[in-house]
Amino acid sequence: MTDVAADLILACDNIMTMDPRRPRVTAVAVAGGRVSAVGDRRDIPAWRGRRTEVIDLGRATLTPGLVDSHLHPVLGLEMTAGLDLSGCADLASVRAALRDAARASAPGQWIVGWGLDPNSFGEIPVGSGAVEDVLGGRPACLTLFDGHSVLASREALRRAGIDGPRRFGSRSAIVCDEHGHPGYPGYPGQGRPGRPHRPAPDRAYRDAPLGPGAALRRTGRRRLHATHPCHLIHPR
């Protein structure tokens, strides 16, 4: 029940509330842009005021609106695998996090990071030269917080066969310094040549409780109808 007359009442045969205590109802009242009551069609007279709009959708199914203008649930899971650099406010903290990761990894093992804020470099040019010494020669792929730019270490670039500037039809680019040396953040478009390949997650990751496969199953159960499942299957 609600003491405030509803602005809008929607009724239909199947309204999914996502509340396990009362998963389905047949009427919902909205006041001030918020759901004010749920129940069945018999409750409508009690919610209705002189200016209430009532819409009966008949046999339709009504679900909560899960709206995102650009949602990447699977790609987001992949991008947040690895070292979280989002809390590093300055270069010293970035270097410390990468140093700890390098010490915990075997020689030659990839270091993957995400959430790197270029502002943390301060007055120092944003580039791999500022962190190469703490990486100990390991390949590193650090995604910046915009999700579109990547900072790759020299070893990562070497493994990718990148030794100078390049431009591609997709408008991707390898960004270099004034001497033509790569190692600066670039915009290497998704799945385009020029992006140093990060180590692909294995099947155990894809099938893990927090992995992409489970994410898609959960979104399906929650009736999230439009998603952008990028990179669910990684080429080997």
Angle (nearest 5°) at CA 33 between 29 and 39: 15
| Tokens of residue 84, six digits | 């979280």
Q: Mean pLDDT across the stretch 3-9?
A: 90
**Structural domain contains residue 236:** no
Half-sphere exposure of 11 (CA within 13 A, CB side): 16
**Structural domain contains residue 71:** no
Q: How many separate domains does the chain show? A: 2
**Structural domain contains residue 114:** yes
CATH of the domain at 147: 3.10.310.70
Q: Which residue in this structure is represented by tokens 């039809």?
A: 169
Residue 55 belongs to domain spanning: 8-62
Kindly state whether residues 86 and 58 are assigned to the same domain. no
Q: With 80 as the cut, is the pLDDT of residue 189 above it?
A: no
Q: What is the 3-state secondary structure (H, E, C) of 60-111?
A: CEECCCCCCCCCCHHHHHHHCCCEECCCCCCHHHHHHHHHHHHHCCCCCCCE
**What is the rounded CA–CA span in Å between residue 133 and residue 44?**
69
Q: With 70 as the cut, is the pLDDT of residue 125 above it?
A: yes
Kindly state whether residues 37 and 98 are assigned to the same domain. no
How far does CA 130 lie from the centroid of its chain? 27
How far does CA 48 lie from the centroid of its chain? 41
**Structural domain contains residue 69:** no
In angstroms, the first-to-last Cα distance of the chain is 57
Question: What are the pLDDT digits (tens) for 25-75?
Answer: 999 999 998 999 999 999 999 999 999 999 999 999 998 876 665 666 677
* Cross-strand bridge partners of residue 27: 11, 39
Kindly state whether residues 166 and 112 are assigned to the same domain. yes
**Who contacts 204 (Cβ-Cβ below 8 Å, separation ≥6)?**
none
**Structural domain contains residue 221:** no
Q: With 90 as the cut, is the pLDDT of residue 181 above it?
A: no
Kindly state whether residues 87 and 55 are assigned to the same domain. no
Q: Mean pLDDT across the stretch 94-98?
A: 97
Structural domain ending residue among the three candidates 184, 202, 228: 184
pLDDT category of residue 18 using cuts at 50, 70 and 90: confident
**What is the rounded CA–CA span in Å between residue 31 and residue 9?**
9
Structural domain ending residue among the three candidates 164, 184, 204: 184
Whole-structure pTM over 0.85, yes or no?
A: no
CATH of the domain at 52: 2.30.40.10
3-state helix, strand, coil in the chain (%, to 5): 25, 25, 50
pLDDT category of residue 188 using cuts at 50, 70 and 90: very low
Of 30-39, 149-158, 186-195, minimum mean pLDDT range: 186-195
Residue 147's identity, in one-letter code, is G
Q: With 90 as the cut, is the pLDDT of residue 24 above it?
A: yes
